[in-house]
Amino acid sequence: MLEHYYVRPETVDRVRSSWIGEAVEKYVTWLADRGHSSRTIYRRIPILVRFGHFARDRGATELEQLAEHVEPFVQEWIRDHAGAKTPSLRRKRIGRDVRNPIQQMLKLLLPDYVGLGRTHKPENPFQEQAPGFLAYLREEKGLREASIRHYRHYLRRFASYLQTVKLTDLNHLAPAILSGFVAEYGQRVALSSLGNCCGALRVFLRYLYREGVSSKDLSNVVEYPQSFRLSGIPRSITWEQVREVLAVVDRRTPVGKRDYAILLLLVTYGLRAREVAALTLDDLDWRNSRLRVPERKEGHSTAYPLSPIVGEAFVDYLKNGRPKTQDRHCFFRGIAPRLPIGHAAVSTRAGHYLRKAGIQVPRPGSHTLRHTCVQKLIDADFDLKTIGDYVGHRSPASTQIYSKVAIEALRQVALGDGEEAL
């Protein structure tokens, strides 16, 4: 494998002659299999070889002893490659760039190696006092994993607040503490997010009382924020703005080919980001010109006619942009490791192109294009039931918000006396 990156045989021999040469070559093979560029691999090999010499000079003779030499080597590397006036942020970046490949190699070789890195958030921040809460959500309430992730998010925010007020025993919860959390959290999020947080907190408080962790049922203390149904407006954009968004995509690159196909899926079929990320090659029925969207939010699948424009974008990406892999997912990350793209990335890319095109819209993302698709159907006089089925709404109430935005009728009112529109 090393011969792919070095022309001179003596360079390859020098790497393999290192006492960790076999480990380095195994790591290089691992990087190549995951789609890392030759430039990245070429830059990392000298770091690893030098680290091996450094550890050997400090007495290391076995791979298991390498872990204790990582940080001393990183600090020496920073001293050699950063001057006295180098900003602290730059020094941290230098340290991270040299630490990461060493830790990756050690994690590959030593199953028990942990190393430094981001602190992993606990699944259940109240594991000690309410260890069965997540199992309760799954088994008794029957919630999906996507819903449970939202519960974990809000519980972490609640646990963080309890740390700031120095409360460790959940039996000491009081109405004033709960009100303080809701008031503090409500200043940082939208009203809808605050309502979801209050709902999750009420479920958690009822569970604490049922399990005897709390002596009082405080769930009724948490009141939902006052909101008015259909008070908001859709985040849709005009069809001309859609063309502007599509025009800023650089379709000469693999990432641009992928993103162009994703944007067309969002605005043509009104798909959710999660549904786009979950698409596989098996969902494309080329013989019958159909696109299947399985496991929608309401629990069923939908089959759409495959638009010629969408089909052409798919073909362009599959032939000229998608990495060669055995994985059946349609869309993949543009950089290594070559993994299927996630739903958050789908929404982020949509927001990126909306901002790049200069489109001003609240919370730009994949739902902006989904709302645009629904608005287009409303303007074409489709009934709400048909529209709801088309975009996969679970309830007709989800579609009603679009019925109040009658663009053409409002335009007639603005241009004339409005009698004909009424």
3-state helix, strand, coil in the chain (%, to 5): 60, 5, 40
CA angle 90, 94, 99 (to 5 degrees): 145
CA angle 274, 278, 282 (to 5 degrees): 150
Query: Domains in the chain: how many in total?
Result: 3
**For residue 193, what are the CA distances in angstroms to 154, 185, 186, 187?**
10, 10, 8, 11
Residues acting as catalytic residues? 272, 297, 367, 370, 393, 402
Among residues 221, 249, 278, the one where a domain terminates is 221
In this structure, are 362 and 279 located in the same domain? yes
Give 115's pLDDT tier (boundaries 50, 70, 90).
Answer: confident
Q: Name 58's Cβ contacts closer than 8 Å, sequence gap at least 6.
A: 69, 72
* Contact assessment for residue 158 and residue 202, using Cβ atoms and an 8 Å cutoff: no
Helix (H) or strand (E) holding 316: helix 308-320
pLDDT at 215 over 70: yes
Average pLDDT of the segment spanning 354-379: 90
Any domain includes 410: no
Lowest mean pLDDT across 164-173, 185-194, 272-281, 399-408: 399-408
What are the phi and psi torsion angles at 28 (to 5°)? -60, -45
In this structure, are 201 and 272 located in the same domain? no
In this structure, are 289 and 252 located in the same domain? yes
pLDDT at 396: 74
More confident residue, 197 or 388: 197
pLDDT at 422 over 60: no
Q: What is the rounded distance in angstroms from the CA atom of residue 243 to the CA atom of residue 3? A: 47
Give 98's pLDDT tier (boundaries 50, 70, 90).
Answer: very high
pLDDT at 335: 85
Give 224's pLDDT tier (boundaries 50, 70, 90).
Answer: confident
Q: Name 40's Cβ contacts closer than 8 Å, sequence gap at least 6.
A: 31, 336
Any domain includes 54: yes
pLDDT at 118 over 80: no
Nearest to 41 by CA among 55, 56, 28: 28
pLDDT at 5: 85
pLDDT at 121: 72
CATH number of residue 305's parent domain: 1.10.443.10
pLDDT digits (tens, 9 = 90+) for 63-91: 999 999 999 999 999 999 988 888 999 99
CATH number of residue 180's parent domain: 1.10.150.130
Lowest mean pLDDT across 115-124, 296-305, 370-379: 115-124
Any domain includes 358: yes
pLDDT at 314: 96
Q: Is the pTM of this model over 0.85?
A: no
Nearest to 173 by CA among 122, 137, 126: 126
- DSSP summary character for residue 191: H
Q: What is the rounded distance in angstroms from the CA atom of residue 217 to the CA atom of residue 171? A: 10
Among residues 161, 190, 221, the one where a domain terminates is 221
In this structure, are 90 and 169 located in the same domain? no
pLDDT at 120: 63
pLDDT at 404 over 70: no
> Mapping DSSP to helix (H, G, I), strand (E, B) and coil, where does residue 304 land?
strand
pLDDT digits (tens, 9 = 90+) for 198-210: 999 999 999 999 9
Nearest to 370 by CA among 229, 261, 192, 235: 235
In this structure, are 251 and 302 located in the same domain? yes
Percent of the chain residues past pLDDT 70, beyond the cut: 91
- DSSP summary character for residue 361: -
If one counts every other C-beta atom within 10 angstroms of the C-beta of residue 174, the result is 12
Any domain includes 228: no
pLDDT at 27: 94
Average pLDDT of the segment spanning 226-253: 84
Any domain includes 302: yes
In this structure, are 276 and 341 located in the same domain? yes
pLDDT at 48 over 60: yes
Give 145's pLDDT tier (boundaries 50, 70, 90).
Answer: confident
In the structure encoding, which two tokens stand for residue 163, read together? Answer: 């740390």
Lowest mean pLDDT across 71-85, 106-120, 312-326: 106-120
Q: Name 303's Cβ contacts closer than 8 Å, sequence gap at least 6.
A: 285, 290, 291, 292, 293
In this structure, are 262 and 342 located in the same domain? yes
Among residues 157, 187, 221, the one where a domain terminates is 221
Asked whether the bond before 122 is cis by omega within 30 degrees of 0, the reply is no
Average pLDDT of the segment spanning 267-295: 93
In this structure, are 140 and 72 located in the same domain? no
Mean pLDDT of the chain: 89
pLDDT at 101 over 80: yes
204: containing domain: 133-221
Any domain includes 201: yes
Average pLDDT of the segment spanning 388-399: 79
> Mapping DSSP to helix (H, G, I), strand (E, B) and coil, where does residue 287 land?
coil
Average pLDDT of the segment spanning 223-251: 84
Average pLDDT of the segment spanning 409-418: 64
Lowest mean pLDDT across 194-208, 294-308, 372-386, 396-410: 396-410
In this structure, are 99 and 167 located in the same domain? no
Q: Name 191's Cβ contacts closer than 8 Å, sequence gap at least 6.
A: 225, 227
Q: What is the rounded distance in angstroms from the CA atom of residue 338 to the CA atom of residue 322? A: 10
In this structure, are 302 and 361 located in the same domain? yes
pLDDT at 352: 96
pLDDT at 420: 55
Any domain includes 231: no
More confident residue, 383 or 311: 311
pLDDT digits (tens, 9 = 90+) for 175-184: 999 999 999 9
pLDDT at 247 over 80: yes
Any domain includes 89: yes
Give 188's pLDDT tier (boundaries 50, 70, 90).
Answer: confident
In this structure, are 137 and 249 located in the same domain? no
In this structure, are 76 and 153 located in the same domain? no
